[in-house]
Each structure stands twice: as structure tokens, then as C-alpha cells.
Amino acid sequence: MSESEEMTNFDVKLEEGTSYDIDFLIDAILEVSEGALDSLCSGITAFLSPKKMLQLALSSEHSVINPQNSLIIKVTHNSDNQNNDTKELFEKRVGAIILYPSSLHKIPAILNSVISKEKLAAIRPLLEHSVPDTAYINTLWIDEDYKALGLGSLLIECAIDYAKNLNLKGLSLHCFASNTKARAFYEKKGFKVYQTVEYLGAVKQSHPDGGFIYYLEF
């Protein structure tokens, strides 16, 4: 039985990200990148793993992929303590979104400084492509055990509010062609394919069908 099925009572809250969420955001980004960042960092140096690279980016106030541009979903629930028949409260991060104006969606400075142009070219569509005048969703992640709660839809609604507050014309994001579940979710929400993208090198080997830039127009 999953943890969500065992919950007797829970509360969902949405909070802006902070520096305390960096490790959680790193894991979320690595999962949705589906090995692309591992390919990017392979063979560079043992001291620059994907996690270390993301830690540097998320800790920089000049980077768009930082906690200040994120929203975190936390679930607080009660769990029975079988030893003394009491209730204990547990809080868990179960979802996240990182978004910012598409005009800021560029190759992070940390990558330009340590990774060759050839390697960056292999993954450029993921790091640079977007739809002009939109809010770009860099990362959207939901814990598998909590997807039935509609938390992904909640984050999309938050992204729409964010974009409209900035007078942007829609949302855009990248999705690998092989990620059929994510594509079905976005298309159900009204996203359309704006652009087909292809990769090079090791990223192409792991994602031979390429990917898409999706666009939700208001």
C-alpha cells in the first residue's frame, strides 16, 4: 500500500521555495531531465557531478533556476503510532514547479564556463528553446504516490496566474517525446506542440525521438 493510501488525514499547502528546498529541487530537476544532465556532465571532471552543478545554480541569486522561482507543495498528514495509540504529524514535499519569463530561459552561466560548446549544442533545445512572451515551466514534478490528488493541475493553475500577472500571453515548456504520460497530461490541459526539437550526441542516443516545446495560449 502506498503512503498516500495509508494517510488518515492530510493537509496540502503551497509555499514559495527557499534555500532549505535546494536538495529537494535538485532531485526533482534530475528526475524530469531524464538523464540529459548526466550526459552533459559526463567526462568533464569528477568534481562537477549533475548534483553539484545544480547546487551551484540553485544557490546563485543570478540564476533563474533558484528557489525564489519555485513553488513547493507540502503535504502534512497524521499517522497512527502503533506503540502508544497516538497520532504523529508528518510533512513531506510532494511537488514542485520552477518557472520564470521565457526571456530568461538561457544556458546558465555555470554551464557556459565549464562545458564545451559541442556538448552544449547536444542539449541546447532543452536549455534555450521556448515560446516568446510566455512563462517558461523549467520543471514540474509530482511524487508518484500523490499524482491522483490533482497536484499537477494545481501547479499549472499557479503558473497561469503567474503568467497573467506579468501580462504574458501563455505558458511554454519542454517535454521529451518518449514521456507519453507527461505529454498526455499537458495536452489534456490544452497545451499544443509549438516546435519539434532534436538532440545530438549522447542525449540523442537516450532520446532518439527528440522532444517538443509545448505552448498554452491564453
Q: Model-level pTM greater than 0.85?
A: yes
Domains and CATH numbers, the chain: 3-217 (3.40.630.30)
- pLDDT at res. 1: 33
Which is more confidently placed, 116 or 155? 155
Residue 73 has pLDDT above 90, yes or no: yes
- pLDDT at res. 216: 98
Closest Cα partner for 212 from 191, 188, 187, 195? 195
CA–CA dist 207, 176 (Å, integer): 7
CA–CA dist 160, 155 (Å, integer): 9
Closest Cα partner for 195 from 110, 111, 102? 102
pLDDT tens for residues 117-161? 888 888 888 899 999 999 999 999 999 999 999 999 999 999 999
pLDDT tens for residues 187-202? 999 999 999 999 988 8
- pLDDT at res. 5: 42
